[in-house]
Structures are given as C-alpha cells and as structure tokens.
C-alpha cells in the first residue's frame, strides 16, 4: 500500500487548518517568499565565498560580505521564516519571534558591513512590516 503525499496535505501540516484574516495571509505569504529567497541567496553567496574566497572588486556592494555574515544573515531569515509560519498559524509567539529576528537583521547589517551607511529604506520597511503584523495582534492566540 503506497501513500501519496499531496501538496495540500503538506501545506496543511506546515500552515495549519485555520485560515487567518486576508491581511495576515498576505503578509505571511509575502514574508515566506521573501525570506525563502534571501535564505537561498545568502547561502549561495556564502558557499561561493567559501569556494572562491572573497575576491570581489573594491567598488562592489559585496566587498564586505564574509561567510560569517552570509550564514548568520541566512539563519536570521530562517527565524523570520519560522515566525511567518507561526503567524500564519495565528500564534503570538510568532509575532515576538518576527520582531526580534527582524530587529537583529537590521542591526547585524550595521555590525558586519563597514561600508553600509544608514539604510533608511530597510529600516522603514522593517518597521512597517512589524506594524502591519502588530495590527493583527487581537487575532493571534
């Protein structure tokens, strides 16, 4: 007897049975996609740096990227991804995990990257997303 795992079953196992509000669903799906892409990008960049060494030109945006930064950044986006899953499942712990992981993401870029000036777009986007998730606080359990 073979059991076939259907995509809808996997989705239900990961995201739960209850559907959150439309705004929370949109925010969670955006965060899931965004964090997944950044995890893949940072892991690939870290692996390339491990293999080739950091031989980026001096005018490159990537000149300060180290393997430690890439893997740390990927791990922090992993926590943000987990937080989005928990928020989709309507858990308050997901909001706190999202808040902490994204604040640490913003701060870590300033700690690791010396050439980075104040990135107001990144800070503003993070604060807006935290605020939008915060508007859904009453719907979380």
Asked if 94 contacts 80 with a C-beta cutoff of 8 angstroms, the reply is: no
Examine the pLDDT at 34 and tell me if it is beyond 90: yes
Burial 51-60 (b: 16+ CB within 10 A, else e): eeeeeeeeee
Examine the pLDDT at 79 and tell me if it is beyond 90: yes
Share of the chain above pLDDT 70, in %: 77
Residue 120: per-residue pLDDT: 80
Burial class (CB in 10 A: 0-12, 13-18, 19+), 121: exposed
Provide the 8-state DSSP code for 62.
G
Matching residue, tokens 């209850």: 18
pLDDT tier for residue 37 given thresholds of 50, 70 and 90: very high
């Amino acid at each position: 007897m073979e059991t076939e795992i259907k995509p809808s079953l996997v989705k239900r196992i990961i995201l739960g049975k209850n559907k959150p509000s439309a705004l929370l669903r949109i925010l969670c799906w955006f965060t899931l996609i965004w964090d997944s892409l950044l995890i893949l990008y940072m892991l690939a960049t870290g692996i390339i740096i491990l293999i080739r060494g950091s031989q980026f030109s001096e005018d490159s945006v990537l000149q300060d990227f180290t393997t430690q930064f890439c893997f740390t950044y990927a791990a922090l986006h992993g926590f943000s991804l987990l937080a989005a899953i928990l928020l989709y499942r309507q858990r308050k712990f997901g909001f706190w995990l999202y808040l902490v992981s994204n604040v640490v993401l913003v701060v870590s870029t300033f700690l690791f990257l010396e050439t980075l000036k104040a990135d107001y777009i990144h800070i503003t986007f993070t604060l807006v997303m935290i605020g939008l998730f915060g508007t859904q606080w009453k719907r979380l359990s």
